[in-house]
C-alpha cells in the first residue's frame, strides 16, 4: 500500500507554523548553550577538583570528542609530516650549514650562561634569597577545537586524572601557548593567547616595562597599557611577567612588532610550528597557596618583657614635655643691678679731688659774635 492510500493521506502540516516552531526551539537551544558556556570560570580553591563554570555535560562532550577529533586530525598530521620530510630532503645541505652556524653561536651562549648561572647561585646563597622551585609538568597532545570563528582553543588529552587544574599555563617547545580554562577527567580545554577572551600580563625584557597581551582573534595579539617613554622597540623580546599569579615569570612569549596602524603587537614564538604536543605546567602561585583568613588576621601576638619595656620607654620619651630653658637675659640684668651705684665714691685713705683752678692755666676768653655799638653824642 502506498503512502497516499494510507491513514496519513489527508494530513496537512502548515509549513509557516512548523518553521516558526523550529526557529523558536533553535533560539532557545542556542541561548541555553551560551548561558552554560562560562569560559572565564576560576577554580574553586576550597575544592581544587571542582571547576566552576565547566558543567558535567560539557565535560562529557569534551571527553567524548577528544579521541574522535584526534582520529580525524591524524591524516592531516601525516600529510604535514610527509611534506616536512620532502622539504627537509631537498633542503638538507642548506639546513646543515645553517645548523652548524647555530651550533657555534649557541656554544658561546652556553659558556656565558654557565658563568652567569654560577654567579647567580653565589649571589643567592650570599643574600639568602628565596628562589622559586621547579614547576612539574604534564605532557599532552592537543587537537583543534572548532567552536566558532572567533574562538582559538585546543583540546588536550590530559585532565584531572593527570593532575591538571584550571588556570595551569601551557607551553610548547617554542614558547607560551595559553592556559587551561576547563578540565574533565581525561581531557582539558586550552585557551590560546590569540583568543578574544585572553588577557596575559607580560613584560619587555629590555626595559622591564609591564603590559597586557590582549588577543583579538588574529595571529598577533596586541600590547596594551604600555607606560613610560619608549617602553618597547621593534624586535624586543616579550616575556611573561608573573603578575597576577597566572604564569611564572620569564616564560618566552614572542617578539614585539608594529603593524601598519602603529599598534604594538607580538609575533608569538608558538606560531613557529604547529601546536601538536604541549607541556602543562602544574604551577601554583604563592598567592593561591596563602590562606586569606590568616593574612586578614589583625590580632597581633603579645610582646615579650624586653620588647614591652622598650616600647614603654619610647612612649614615655615621646610624650614627656620638653625641658624649659633658663632665661639668660634676666641673669645679666640682675648682675648689673647688684653693682654699687657710684663707682667714683672715695675709698678710705684716698685723696680728695682738688677742684681749685690752676693758676698757670690761661683764661679762655668767651667768643662773641656781637659787634660794639658806636657812642651816641649828647645834644646841648
Closest by CA position to 287, among listed 241, 246, 249: 246
Q: DSSP for 304-352?
A: -HHHHHHHHHHHHHHHSPPPPPP-HHHHHHHHHHTS-S-TTPPPTTPPP
CA distance 212 to 199: 6
**Within-domain flag for 279:** yes
Higher pLDDT, 29 or 343: 29
Domain contains 216: yes
Q: Say what the pLDDT of residue 40 is.
A: 43
Q: Quick one: CA torsion of 15, 16, 22, 24, rounded to 10 degrees?
A: -170
Instruction: Return the C-alpha cell found at 193.
Output: 593567547
Is position 30 within any domain?
no
Q: For the CA atoms of the chain, what is the radius of gyration?
A: 48
Tally of structural domains, the chain: 1
Q: How far apart are CA 110 and CA 107, in angstroms?
A: 5
Q: Are 203 and 210 in contact (CB under 8 A)?
A: yes
pTM to 2 decimals? 0.54
Tens-place pLDDT, residues 114-160? 999 889 888 888 887 776 667 889 999 988 765 566 668 888 989 99
Residue 70 maps to a domain: yes
107 falls within a domain: no
- Torsion of Cα atoms, 165 then 166 then 168 then 172, to 10°: 100
Q: What's the mean per-residue pLDDT of the chain?
A: 76
**Which residue has better confidence, 65 or 328?**
65
Residue 267 pLDDT greater than 90, yes or no: yes
**CATH code at 60?**
2.40.10.340
Is 311 part of a structural domain of the chain?
no
Among residues 259, 262, 279, the alpha carbon closest in space to that of 270 is found at 279
**Which residues sit opposite 224 in a β-bridge?**
212
First to last CA, the chain: 200
d(CA 198, CA 176): 13
For range 275-293, the mean pLDDT: 77
Assigned domain for 68 exists: yes
Residue 268 domain flag: yes
Q: How far is CA 328 from CA 77, 147, 336, 380, in A?
A: 100, 92, 13, 86
Return the pLDDT at 176.
94
Q: Which of 18-27, 45-54, 192-201 has the highest mean pLDDT?
A: 192-201
| Range(s) of the domain holding residue 250 | 56-90+132-291
CA distance 200 to 193: 7
Residue 169 confidence (pLDDT) above 50: yes
Q: Which of 166, 131, 156, 164 is nearest to 288 (CA)?
A: 166
What would the grid cell of residue 264 be?
A: 604594538
Identify which has the larger pLDDT, 379 or 105. 105
Amino acid at each position: 500500500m502506498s503512502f497516499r492510500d494510507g491513514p496519513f493521506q489527508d494530513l496537512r502540516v502548515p509549513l509557516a507554523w512548523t518553521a516558526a516552531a523550529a526557529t523558536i526551539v533553535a533560539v532557545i537551544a542556542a541561548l541555553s548553550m551560551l548561558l552554560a558556556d562560562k569560559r572565564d570560570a576560576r577554580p574553586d580553591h576550597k575544592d581544587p577538583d571542582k571547576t566552576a563554570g565547566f558543567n558535567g555535560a560539557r565535560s562529557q562532550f569534551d571527553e567524548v570528542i577528544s579521541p574522535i577529533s584526534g582520529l580525524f586530525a591524524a591524516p592531516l598530521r601525516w600529510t604535514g609530516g610527509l611534506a616536512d620530510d620532502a622539504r627537509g630532503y631537498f633542503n638538507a645541505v642548506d639546513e646543515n650549514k645553517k645548523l652548524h652556524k647555530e651550533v657555534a653561536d649557541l656554544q658561546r651562549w652556553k659558556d656565558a650562561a654557565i658563568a652567569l648561572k654560577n654567579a647567580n647561585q653565589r649571589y643567592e646563597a650570599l643574600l639568602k634569597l628565596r628562589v622559586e622551585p621547579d614547576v612539574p609538568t604534564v605532557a599532552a597532545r592537543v587537537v583543534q577545537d572548532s567552536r566558532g570563528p572567533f574562538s582559538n582553543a585546543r583540546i588536550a588529552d590530559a585532565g584531572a586524572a593527570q593532575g591538571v587544574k584550571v588556570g595551569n599555563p601551557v607551553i610548547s617547545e617554542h614558547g607560551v601557548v595559553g592556559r587551561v580554562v576547563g578540565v574533565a577527567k581525561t581531557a582539558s580545554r586550552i585557551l590560546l593567547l590569540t583568543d578574544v577572551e585572553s588577557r596575559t600580563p607580560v613584560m619587555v625584557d629590555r626595559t622591564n616595562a609591564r603590559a597586557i597581551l590582549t588577543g583579538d582573534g588574529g595571529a598577533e595579539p596586541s600590547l596594551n597599557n604600555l607606560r613610560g617613554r619608549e617602553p618597547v622597540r621593534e624586535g624586543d623580546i616579550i616575556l611573561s611577567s608573573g603578575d597576577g599569579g597566572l604564569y611564572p615569570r620569564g616564560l618566552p612569549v614572542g617578539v614585539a612588532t608594529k603593524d601598519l596602524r602603529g599598534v604594538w603587537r607580538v609575533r608569538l614564538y608558538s606560531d613557529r610550528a604547529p601546536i601538536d604536543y604541549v607541556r602543562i605546567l602544574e604551577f601554583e602561585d604563592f598567592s593561591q597557596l596563602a590562606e586569606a583568613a590568616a593574612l586578614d588576621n589583625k590580632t597581633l601576638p603579645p610582646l615579650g618583657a624586653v620588647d614591652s619595656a622598650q616600647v614603654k620607654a619610647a612612649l614615655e620619651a615621646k610624650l614627656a614635655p620638653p625641658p624649659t630653658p633658663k632665661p639668660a637675659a634676666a641673669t645679666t640684668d640682675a648682675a648689673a643691678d647688684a653693682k654699687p651705684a657710684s663707682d667714683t665714691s672715695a675709698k678710705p685713705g684716698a685723696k680728695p679731688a682738688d677742684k681749685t683752678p690752676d693758676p698757670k692755666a690761661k683764661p679762655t676768653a668767651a667768643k662773641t659774635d656781637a659787634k660794639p655799638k658806636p657812642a651816641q653824642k649828647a645834644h646841648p
